[in-house]
Structure 1
Amino acid sequence: MTTLLYGRPPAVFDPPGDAVQTSPLIPGATALESVAEGSADVIMIYAPPGVLERRYTLALALRALKVGGRLDVMAPKDKGGSRLKKELESFGVEVGESAKAHHRRCVVIKPAVLTGLDEAVEAGAPRVVPGLEAWSQPGVFAWDRVDAGSALLASRLPALKGAGADLGCGYGALSTVALRNAAVTSLRLIDLDRRAIDAAQRNVADPRAAFEWTDVRTLEASGELDFIITNPPFHDGGTEDKRLGQAFIQKAAALLHKGGTMWLVANRHLPYEADLNAAFKRVQMIADSGGYKLFEAIK
């Protein structure tokens, strides 16, 4: 029996331990897009919060299921759970719904005939975003716009040189700016989201760029980089968590050699100053504008 899992549902929902993981946010997972149509017996999905991303995932899952296969989907009530039943019914399925642990859970048995799958997949698929003129996809951070924090960092970046990294690179907006410097010899683009890495590979056509689908927090650090640029995440599963940014700061310090520089932008309310001063020899706020703080930190 083929069982697939998307995301990390809370233990209260008894996620199958032997399932094939398909979330783009778990490095090494199988892409749900690559699963053969009608090949899965059971799929459990911890549904993402974004509407386009969620409907895309549900449509891919229904496509991957065998007729008569079981789809088990749950989400927090305030992060898409209250919409799950209606969204699933729009695909022409009967839905059993229940509530548990502040979540809504919907169970579907795949019928022989479905409607609207192609439209949902198309709406959530990778595309060149008008205005950005760059590849992106719903679910990627700031997928259809230039994030204001990243724009501030890009506008104040000095001439960079040597080997560097873009931690949490997204679709590659900051990396594109960094690689305009001919003195940059190499740049590692690192992100937890496979979709971001896929988009960045399309957007950053530069032989100096290397792409890594991995969790920044687990990187091996050898202290050899000259510079780092980063707009670190501060949400985990939709909940604000300043520890993510703190972990990025600590990892950046470990990746840089003595005298190496990190350029970091963060929302103004995030209290990173103490962490920066603990990890770096010299820290300077370069800008405080539009709700964002920009720091230069030298190891």
Structure 2
Amino acid sequence: MLMTPDRWTLALENGDMAWPAGARVLVLRARGASDFSALGAAQIQAVQGFAPEHDRLAVRGIEVDIAPEGSFGAALVQIVKSKGETLSLVAEALAHVEPGGVIAVDGQKDEGIESILKAVKTVMPVDGVLSKAHGKLFWLTRPDRLPDAVADWVAEPGETDEGFVTAPGMFSPDGPDQGSELLVALVPQLKGRVADLGAGWGYLSAVLLEEQAGIDSLDLIEAEWSALEAARINVADERARFFWADATSFEPDAKYDAIISNPPFHAGRAADVSLGQAFIASAARMLKPSGQFFMVANRHLPYETTLKAHFGTGSLLAEIAGYKLYQAGKPKSARRG
């Protein structure tokens, strides 16, 4: 089955969008499945802080980094679900592209491309827009002098009321969500080697390390680079170790006595229960035969069947404020291994 070309490919093939020949190209939030060949693939520096996408790009032989380096003749921004983070990406592209260069911004309607286009238009002129496949691509020329308003788009780190460092685009940047608060309030005393799958900016780990002396070590496993960097600040305990990795494929150096998790359940703006299900399977694989798994999730998410498939025992510890807290033991993966 033929795939629909990416919008930037169509815009270039149709002659709608001018693109500087031979330019060094920056792609921010580059996605692993995207085709960048029309942009001049040999000159691309992809930037992606989400470990699974970063790894997909690297496997394809694309130069991929955590942050841009140097200047560029053009840039493509692939938007994310957070408007604040996306506008910060546009500001980053403007800062790294030379005057006269092209900045293209691409995304789906359900990702919020319309609001991004509107926000950019209020600050500077847009050269063109291409609508295709339930999304839009728009592009503009980098002016000699950036409007002062662009500086307001830069997403600066902030602090929650509790003093934790976060930033726009992270999960629950304004403070711990109720599910995480439920988990740290009701999880029993843990001992030995512990892991936090999908640790985010470190709330669960920070509280448990402060309250529980029986924990020998706690590994924070987080796929989003910026969130893990915040966690390094928020979790000031020598027992903590930090791993930038996909929790669903991470291989620990030894099995864990306990694993805690408030797993993600969105891919973009769409709910995706397979993410939480993959976290459950991964926890079972990483635990000792005697290990225990503690997971909090929104009440409506159907995780019970997956828990039964991967663990020999399980119980519902609490159901409060729209969340469920599960405890599971006797991981079946451990018995098979």
**TM-score, L = length of structure 1:** 0.92
Q: Out of 164, 179, 188, which is 2:219 matched to?
A: 188
Corresponding residue pairs, total: 293
Structure 1 position 57 matched with structure 2 position 92: no
Aligned identity (percent) is: 35
Give the corresponding residue for 1:31.
66
Structure 1 position 165 matched with structure 2 position 198: no
Q: Rate the CA distance shift 1:10–1:183 in 2: closer, same or farther, 3 A.
A: closer
The more displaced of 256-265 and 176-185 is 176-185
CA drift of 1:79 comes to 2.1
Aligned residue type for 1:67? P
Q: Rate the CA distance shift 1:14–1:76 in 2: closer, same or farther, 3 A.
A: farther
SS of equivalent residue, structure 1 residue 188: strand
Aligned residue type for 1:97? V
Give the corresponding residue for 2:45.
20
SS of equivalent residue, structure 1 residue 228: strand
Would the aligned equivalents of 1:93 and 1:114 in 2 still touch at CA under 8 Å?
no
Q: Rate the CA distance shift 1:223–1:298 in 2: closer, same or farther, 3 A.
A: farther
Would the aligned equivalents of 2:110 and 2:269 in 1 still touch at CA under 8 Å?
no
CA drift of 1:171 comes to 0.9
Give the corresponding residue for 2:296.
265
Structure 2 CA distance for aligned equivalents of residues 196 and 89 of structure 1: 30
Structure 1 CA distance for aligned equivalents of residues 162 and 50 of structure 2: 23
The more displaced of 77-86 and 139-148 is 77-86
Structure 2 CA distance for aligned equivalents of residues 10 and 206 of structure 1: 38
Aligned residue type for 1:35? E
Would the aligned equivalents of 1:63 and 1:117 in 2 still touch at CA under 8 Å?
no
Which ranges of structure 1 fall in alignment gaps of 5 or more residues? none
1:176-211 deviation per Cα after TM superposition (whole angstroms, max 9, x unaligned): 122121111111111111111011000001111111
Structure 1 position 81 matched with structure 2 position 113: yes
Runs of 4+ in 1 over 4 A off after TM superposition: 9-18
Structure 1 position 140 matched with structure 2 position 140: no
Structure 1 position 289 matched with structure 2 position 325: no
Would the aligned equivalents of 1:45 and 1:72 in 2 still touch at CA under 8 Å?
yes
Structure 2 CA distance for aligned equivalents of residues 15 and 234 of structure 1: 33
Structure 1 CA distance for aligned equivalents of residues 302 and 76 of structure 2: 37
Q: How do 1:191-230 and structure 2 match up within 5 A?
A: 191-221=222-252, 224-230=255-261
Structure 1 position 107 matched with structure 2 position 107: no
Would the aligned equivalents of 2:126 and 2:138 in 1 still touch at CA under 8 Å?
no
RMSD of Structure 2 on Structure 1 (CA): 2.0
Q: Rate the CA distance shift 1:150–1:110 in 2: closer, same or farther, 3 A.
A: same
CA drift of 1:248 comes to 0.4
Would the aligned equivalents of 1:25 and 1:193 in 2 still touch at CA under 8 Å?
yes
CA drift of 1:159 comes to 1.0
CA drift of 1:85 comes to 2.3
Q: Rate the CA distance shift 1:4–1:125 in 2: closer, same or farther, 3 A.
A: same
Structure 2 CA distance for aligned equivalents of residues 15 and 189 of structure 1: 39
CA drift of 1:222 comes to 6.2
Aligned residue type for 1:83? S
SS of equivalent residue, structure 1 residue 254: helix
Structure 2 CA distance for aligned equivalents of residues 9 and 102 of structure 1: 20
SS of equivalent residue, structure 2 residue 65: coil
CA drift of 1:60 comes to 0.8
CA drift of 1:269 comes to 1.2
Aligned residue type for 1:155? A
Structure 1 CA distance for aligned equivalents of residues 194 and 75 of structure 2: 40
Would the aligned equivalents of 2:206 and 2:236 in 1 still touch at CA under 8 Å?
no
SS of equivalent residue, structure 2 residue 293: strand
Q: Rate the CA distance shift 1:9–1:215 in 2: closer, same or farther, 3 A.
A: closer
Structure 2 CA distance for aligned equivalents of residues 188 and 281 of structure 1: 24
Structure 2 CA distance for aligned equivalents of residues 222 and 113 of structure 1: 51
Aligned residue type for 1:98? L
SS of equivalent residue, structure 2 residue 248: helix
Give the corresponding residue for 2:335.
none
Structure 2 CA distance for aligned equivalents of residues 292 and 286 of structure 1: 11
Which ranges of structure 2 fall in alignment gaps of 5 or more residues? 1-22, 56-63, 331-337
